[in-house]
Amino acid sequence: MSTSLGRRSFVRLGLAASVALAFSGCAAQGGSSQPSAVGSDPSETGHAPATAQGRDTKGDGTPVETLKAVTLNSGYEMPTQGLGTYALDYETCVGSIHALVAAGGRLIDTAYMYHNEDAVGEGVRTCGVPREELFVTTKLYPDQFAKPDAAIDQALEKLGIDYIDLMLLHHPGTGDVEAYRAMERAAAAGKVRSIGLSNWYIEELESFLPQVETVPALVQNEIHPYYQEQDVVPYIQDLGIVVEGWYPLGGRGYNAELLADSELTSIAQAHGVSVPQVILRWNCQRGIVVIPGSSNPEHIAEDLNIHGFSLTDEEMTRIAALDRAEKHDWY
C-alpha cells in the first residue's frame, strides 16, 4: 500500500447497533404487511449501543446517521453494507462469511457465475446466527435466461436455503424480460422475497421497465469514486429503487491507484480513518448499499466500521470531482 494510511491503519470507531432506517427517496411504497427479512439484532457483539435517537456521534458530539438497513419497495429490510463474494473459492468464501457475521455484517452477495453459491450456503448454515437474520443475494446469468424457472430452483438447491432474499438478473441479455417474469413468479411463490437488476442503466431501464409488472427493488451497478454514475444513481432512486454498488473500492486489479488517491488520503487522515472507510462512507451518504469483496477478516470488519464519522458537504464535493467516468469492468 503506497498511501501512508493503509487499510490496517484506522481508528476502530465502533459500529452502532442495527437501526432500520430507509435511505432518502427509497422508502417502501405503500407501507408493508410483509415480515422483515432482517431486523435489529441487539445481540451483535463489538458494537457501541445506539443512542435513544438511533444515532451515534463524532468526537465533537455531532450526530451521525446510523444507516444500517434500508426498506426495499417489496417491504423487506436489507442491510446497507455487506460482503461481495466474487472470485472467492469454497473455503475462503465460507471463512469470509464467518468473518462478516462475527463483525456484525449480515448481507452476502453471490451469483451463479461466481461458482460459489454452494459455499455461500455452507457459510450461512454454519456462521452461528439464524437464517432469518441474514440477507442473501444471488443472480441469474444471461445463459440461464432461456430456462429461468429451472435456474431459480437450481440456485435454491445450490444455496441449500428455503428462500432467497434478493435475486437479480446479472446483466441485460436475450430473454431478460421472460427471466424477470420468472423471478416475479418465484416471488409470488415465496421462493424469492425481492427481485431486481444488475448492470442496468438509464437507457436499459427505460426500455425494460414498461415490459414488467414489478418495479425492481434494487439495481446493482459498478460505482466507485472514479465511476460515480452521478446521473444514473438519482434517476434510479427517484423511481423508488434502491441502488447498490459493486466494486466500491475500484475492483481487483484497479484498487491500488484509487486507495492511494491523494484527495481521498487527505480526507481519511482528517478523520483518522482509512481510505476504504472514506469511500464506503461516501457511498452511504449517497444512499448506496455497498458490498466490498474481501477474504481478510480485518478488512471485512473495517469495511463495516463507517458510522463513527461523517463527511462534510465540502468533502463530498471533493470526492465528486474525482469522477472520471472510468469503468473497471465491461458491463
**Per residue in 261-273, pLDDT tens?**
999 999 999 999 9
Alpha helices in the chain (DSSP H): 90-102, 117-126, 148-159, 176-188, 202-208, 232-238, 255-259, 262-271, 275-285, 297-304, 313-320
Which residues neighbour 180 within 8 Å (Cβ) at sequence distance 6 or greater?
169, 195, 197, 208, 212, 214
Identify the pLDDT of residue 285: 96
pLDDT at 309: 95
pLDDT of residue 6: 40
Query: What whole-number distance in Å separates Cα of residue 184 and Cα of residue 161?
Result: 19
pLDDT score, position 25:
29
φ/ψ of residue 194, rounded to 5: -140, 155
Q: What is the pLDDT of residue 134?
A: 98
Per-residue pLDDT of 31-40, as tens digits, reads 333 333 353 3
Q: What domains, with CATH codes, occur in the chain?
A: 15-320 (3.20.20.100)
Question: For the chain, how many residues are written?
Answer: 331
Position 253 scores a pLDDT of 87
Number of Cβ within 10 Å of residue 155's Cβ equals: 25
DSSP 142: G
Q: Is 114 a catalytic residue?
A: yes
Over pLDDT 90: what percentage of the chain?
78
Q: CA dihedral defined by 302, 304, 308, 310, rounded to 10 degrees?
A: 100
The residue annotated as part of the active site, out of 76, 90, 112, 114, is 114
- Tell me the pLDDT of the chain (331 aa) as tens digits: 333 334 433 222 322 222 233 443 223 223 333 333 353 332 222 222 222 222 333 333 333 344 489 999 999 999 999 999 999 999 999 999 999 999 999 999 999 999 999 999 999 999 999 999 999 999 999 999 999 999 999 999 999 999 999 999 999 999 999 999 999 999 999 999 999 999 999 999 999 999 999 999 999 999 999 999 999 999 999 999 999 999 999 998 899 999 999 999 999 999 999 999 999 999 999 999 999 999 999 999 999 999 999 999 999 999 999 999 999 998 7
d(CA 188, CA 100): 30
- The reported pTM is 0.82
Angle at 233 between CA 232 and CA 238, to 5 degrees: 100
